[in-house]
Amino acid sequence: MMTAEPLSAEIKGRVSAEVTRIRHDKGIAPKLVALLIGDDPISRTYVNLKRADCAQVGIISEIIDLSVLPRAEILSKVEDTVKMLNEDPSVNAIIPQMPFDGKVPEELVFSLLSPDKDVDGLTPFRLGKLMRKEYSLIDSLLPCTPKGIVTLLLHYGVKIDGANVAIIGRSVLVSEPLRKLLQDLNATATCYHTHSREFKERIMDADIAVVATGRPPEMYPSGGFRLFGEMVKEGSVIVSVGSRKDSTTGKTLFDVDTASMKGRAAFLTPNIGGVGAMTRATLLENTLIATILQLG
């Protein structure tokens, strides 16, 4: 099992030490602000977890909840808030928590966001750097979940060079940046989606399968998609990314049925304490990187 807890703790330890040094040398504390725009309950859980993570390492954090505003007012408020945070020298990092539930255009929010404070790596500038391979896995502002996944794979010694990788989903948040990062490490990575033909056969051939479908409608045209053990080849590496609330039962459903992977997958991320933990640790790391870049 590729649990993230030891690696996450290691990253937090490094970040905490650097935050302490910055406090001592510069007299400031890094500050992260999360914007909650959509009504998604899992998003609300994540921002609260991120706030707790920040407290552990000495980063100041704030949540600005705009989800309660009437739809007619939210766009202008988001625009004003992002501009205000961009100009606030005490704010080093900003993360608009996805998804926005269609309340505001995603591309508008990220076009307004300062690339220097973009700790999820989703502004046009940051994505352009990624596409042009003008980045470092160590000290660049890359999308948190893809960077966290690659860091976890490398930590466990998973062979990426030459691997066939099936990424289920095609979001700009996870799937597409992850495809590029893996490609830059010499994997052959392909994103599969609702219009992909014979994608289940491609999954069966994959050395690494990453399931990042998450919320409807991606890969949920008729009620749901989950990856089960019989759908992958023996000895493959399975990464579970997405989760959603079942509209009938209210239970959280994950993209991978981990129980059915036992005895089949060589490496498997747990649904709890896996990719989510790496995403949060990477956000702390990115907040530190943004702070250092701003301090010169």
Task: Please give the single-letter amino acid code of residue 166.
Answer: A
Instruction: Name the band, by pLDDT with cuts 50, 70 and 90, for residue 288.
Output: very high
Identical fold between 26-117 and 144-276: yes
| Architecture of the structural domain at 144-276 | 3-Layer(aba) Sandwich (3.40)
Residue 116 — left, alpha, or beta (φ > 0 → left; ψ -120 to 50 → alpha)? alpha
Instruction: Name the band, by pLDDT with cuts 50, 70 and 90, for residue 203.
Output: very high
User: Hey, which residues are catalytic here?
Assistant: 50, 97, 120
Percent of the chain with pLDDT over 70: 96
* Domain 26-117, CATH class in plain words: alpha beta
Contacts of 130 (CB under 8 A, 6+ apart): 121, 142, 143, 177, 180, 181
> What Cα–Cα distance (Å) separates residue 204 from each residue in 119, 193, 198, 217?
34, 15, 10, 23
Angle, vertex CA 40, rays to CA 34 and CA 46, nearest 5: 45
Contacts of 6 (CB under 8 A, 6+ apart): none
Domain boundaries, the chain: 26-117, 144-276
How far apart (Å, rounded) are the C-alpha atoms in residues 76 and 66? 11
Choose between 38 and 114: higher pLDDT.
114
pLDDT in tens, 67-103: 989 888 999 999 999 999 999 999 999 999 988 888 8
Q: Residues 24, 54: contact at Cβ < 8 Å? A: no
pLDDT in tens, 49-71: 999 999 999 999 999 999 989 88
pTM of the model: 0.93
